[in-house]
Amino acid sequence: MDLSVIIPARNEIFLKRTIEDILEHIEGDTEVIAVLDGYWSNPSIEDNPRVTLIHFEESVGQRAAVNAAARISRAKYIMKVDGHCSFDQGFDVKMMKEMQDDWTMVPIMRNLWAFDWKCPEGHTRYQGPSGPCKECGQPTTMDIKWIGKGNPQSTSYCFDSEPHFQYFGAFKKRSGGKGDLTETMSLQGSCFMVTREKYFELDLCSEEFGSWGSQGIEVAAKTWLSGGKVICNHKTWYAHMFRTQGGDFGFPYPQSGRQVARAKKMAGDVFFNNKWEKQIHPLSWLLERFWPVPGWTDEALAKLKTVPLITKSVTKPALTTGLVYYTDNQCDPNILSRCQENLKVCCNGNPLVSVSLKPIDFGENIVVNEKRSALTMFKQILAGLEKIKADIVFLVEHDVLYPPSHFDFVPLRKDLFYYNQNVWKSDWKSGRSLFYYAMQTLALCAYRDLLIEHYKKRVALVKEVGFSTRIGYEPGTHNRAERVDDYKYDVFWTSEPLVDIRHGSNLSPSRWRQDQFRNKKNLRGWTEDDKVPHWGVVKE
C-alpha cells in the first residue's frame, strides 16, 4: 500500500460522498481509512476492499481519531482529509510523484460547491441556510452538485502573531509563490500528506493540543522547524466545503471558544518560545524566510528573535534497548532452536535475559522453579524485567520468529504499552497461516519502568484472585473492571511481520475459524494463506 487517506468523521453528512469521490479519482495503490468517531454514518458506507472503517462508541476527538487511523495504516504515505471534500483525477499519484520524505505536501485548495437548496418550481439557492424558497415560499430539498469551483484557488497560508490562521494571497505574487511546487509557511488543515514515518516521528497530531484547533499551525511549524518543508503541489487540487450559514453545515466536532483558545495558547507557547524538543530552527527563522508576513510587525519579529532556541542546550542520553525472553521449556526442540537462532541474528546486538522453568544456555538465564501457568509466565516476565538493564524492553517468546525491524522501534511515550500488529499465526505441521489485527504480549514493547510497575501489580492481583480471561494477558488493552491498571496502549507496524508458530503446546489456544470468536470486531483484516510475507512458504 502506498497511500492511506485518513478521514476523521464526527456527524459528517457528506462522508459517504467524500469516500466515493476518493475511490472514483484515485489511480495508485491507495486506501481509505475513515474513523466514525462516536456515530454511525448515515447514509451508511458501502463495503469496499479499499475502505476500512474504525468505529468509536464515544467520541475520542479529531486528533485522536486521525492517530488511531494512522496506527493501522501500512502505507508509506498518509493523507489526512476532512469528510466533506472532492478531489482531482489521480490526485494521489500526482502528490506521491513529487513527494520527498521530509516534506509535508498539500494540493491546491478549491471551494467545494456541494449542494443547492431547490424547490418544486425549480428555484435554487446556493448552499446557504435551509428553509422555504425565498421566491415562491415552497419547501426546498438538497440538490447535490459536488463541484470543485475553479476560483478561488488557495496555495499559500500563514499565521499571525496571536497565532491565528491566515490566507497568504500576497505570496502568490512573489517569485517563491510561482511554479508547480511552492513553499507555504502554514496550512489550512483540511488536507495534508506526509510519510507515515514522519507523521509519528514529529507527533503531527499531538493530542496535547486537544481535539480541534490550530492543527495547520502545528503541522506546518513542526515540519519547518525540524528541518523539513511544507510544499503546495500546483499539479493537483482538492475542494473543501466550508461552513454554511444557518447551522445546516457547521463544525462536525462540537466547538467551544475555550477549547480553541487552549489550542491557540499551546501553539503560541510551544512554538513562539522555541520549546518544541525536535526543532533545529527558531520560529523567527521561519518568519524571516517568508517575510513580510501578514499579522506580524517588525517589532513583533524583533521580539521573537530574542527568544533562545532552548533545545540547543539540551543533550539527551541515548536510550538503551533489551529483550526479555521467556519459555516454559515445553516447546518442540526444533522450534526452540530455530527461534533462538533467529533472535541471535535479529536482536541488533541488544542484551537478552532468558527466563525459563529449566536451565537453558541462551542469553543471561534465570530459572523460575514453578509449574507452567499464567501466573508463572507473569512471574517470569517480571523476573526478567528486574534483571535486565535497559530503558526500553521487548518481550519475546520462545516460539516466535522476529524480523530485525521489530527491534528498531522506539516508543513515543513512557506511559503507553506498544504492540506490533504485523503478526501472522502459522501452524507448525500444516503450514496454514492466518493474519488478523490483534494485540499480543509476544509483540509488546514499552519502557522498562512502566512494564515493571504493571507486572508487579499483575502478579499481586493474580495471586490474590486467581487468573481469568477477564483480567487478560495483554497490558493496557481493555477497560474491564478486572483490569490491572489504567494505562493504555498504542500500536506500531513493521515492514516485515512476526511469525507466531502454533504447535499444540501453546499456552493460549489456537483459533483458525471466524465462528470461534465471540467478538466479531476481532476479525478485522482476516487473511488466510500458506505463506507469510517476507518469510515465504511456511512449510519450507
Which residues, in sequence order, are CB contacts of 525 under 8 Å at separation 6+?
Answer: 435, 436, 437
pLDDT above 50 for 208: yes
Mean of the pLDDT values across residues 440-450? 96
Are β-strands 531-532 and 536-537 bridged in parallel, bridged antiparallel, or unpaired? Answer: antiparallel
Q: What is the pLDDT of residue 265?
A: 87
| % residues pLDDT > 70 (the chain) | 94
Same domain, 225 and 187: yes
Residue 253 lies in a domain: yes
Same domain, 334 and 298: no
Same domain, 279 and 345: no
Task: Identify the residue with better confidence: 409 or 87.
Answer: 87
Are β-strands 165-167 and 157-159 bridged in parallel, bridged antiparallel, or unpaired? Answer: antiparallel
Q: What is the pLDDT of residue 256?
A: 55
Task: Identify the residue with better confidence: 265 or 89.
Answer: 89
pLDDT above 70 for 249: no
Amino acid occupying residue 241: M
- 64, containing H or E segment: helix 62-72
Query: How far is it, in rounded angstroms, from Cα 353 to Cα 394?
Result: 11
339-346, long-range: CB within 8 Å, 24+ apart, which pairs? Answer: 339/398, 339/399, 339/400, 339/401, 339/501, 340/398, 342/401, 342/402, 343/396, 343/402, 345/404, 346/402, 346/403, 346/404, 346/406, 346/407
Same domain, 375 and 281: no
Same domain, 433 and 473: yes
Residue 276 lies in a domain: yes
Q: What is the pLDDT of residue 258?
A: 66
Mean of the pLDDT values across residues 502-516? 79
Same domain, 211 and 162: yes
Q: What is the pLDDT of residue 317?
A: 63
* CATH code of the domain containing 268: 3.90.550.10
Same domain, 349 and 305: no
Given 311, 338, 353, the domain boundary residue is 311
Q: Where does the pLDDT of residue 446 fall: very low under 50, low under 70, confident under 90, or very high at 90 and above?
A: very high
Quote the distance between the C-alpha of residue 289 and its chain's center: 31
- 68, containing H or E segment: helix 62-72
Same domain, 208 and 238: yes
Closest CA to 78 of 7, 9, 187, 3: 3
pLDDT above 90 for 36: yes
**Residue range 285-317, pLDDT digits in tens:** 999 999 999 999 999 998 998 888 764 444 446
Amino acid occupying residue 314: V
Given 253, 284, 311, the domain boundary residue is 311
Q: How many folded domains does the chain comprise?
A: 2
Mean of pLDDT over the chain: 90
Closest CA to 492 of 36, 74, 37, 29: 74
pLDDT above 90 for 19: yes
Q: Could you tell me the residue range of the domain that residue 417 belongs to?
A: 321-537
Query: How far is it, in rounded angstroms, from Cα 477 to Cα 462?
Result: 17
Q: What is the pLDDT of residue 526?
A: 83
Q: Is 146 left (phi over 0), alpha (psi -120 to 50) or beta?
A: left
C-alpha cell at 372: 507452567
Give SS3 for 127: coil
Mean of the pLDDT values across residues 229-256? 78
Closest CA to 221 of 246, 198, 241, 204: 204
DSSP state of 361: S
Q: What is the pLDDT of residue 385?
A: 97
**Residue range 94-105, pLDDT digits in tens:** 999 999 999 999
Q: What is the pLDDT of residue 42?
A: 85
Kindly report the length of the chain: 540
Residue 316 lies in a domain: no
Which residues, in sequence order, are CB contacts of 420 under 8 Å at separation 6+?
Answer: 406, 409, 443, 445, 491, 492, 493, 494, 498
Same domain, 273 and 339: no
Same domain, 451 and 362: yes
Least confident of 73-82, 237-246, 253-262, 514-523: 253-262
DSSP state of 319: P
Quote the distance between the C-alpha of residue 258 and its chain's center: 26
Helix-then-strand count for the chain, H and E: 11, 27
pLDDT above 90 for 136: yes
Mean of the pLDDT values across residues 376-387? 97
Residue 371 lies in a domain: yes
Same domain, 306 and 330: no
Q: What is the pLDDT of residue 313?
A: 41
Residue 171 lies in a domain: yes
Query: How far is it, in rounded angstroms, from Cα 73 to Cα 473?
Result: 25
The stretches of 189-332 forming alpha helices (DSSP H) are: 196-201, 215-225, 257-272, 283-290, 298-305
C-alpha cell at 313: 542546550
Helix, strand, coil shares of the chain, percent, nearest 5, are 30, 25, 45
Mean of the pLDDT values across residues 141-161? 94
Residue 402 lies in a domain: yes
* CATH code of the domain containing 483: 3.90.550
Mean of the pLDDT values across residues 143-172? 94
Residue 407 lies in a domain: yes
Same domain, 254 and 326: no
Closest CA to 440 of 500, 493, 482: 500
Mean of the pLDDT values across residues 368-379? 95
Given 278, 311, 344, the domain boundary residue is 311
Q: Where does the pLDDT of residue 412 fall: very low under 50, low under 70, confident under 90, or very high at 90 and above?
A: confident
Q: Where does the pLDDT of residue 539 fall: very low under 50, low under 70, confident under 90, or very high at 90 and above?
A: confident
- Helix 298-305 and helix 283-290, axial crossing angle in degrees, nearest 10: 150
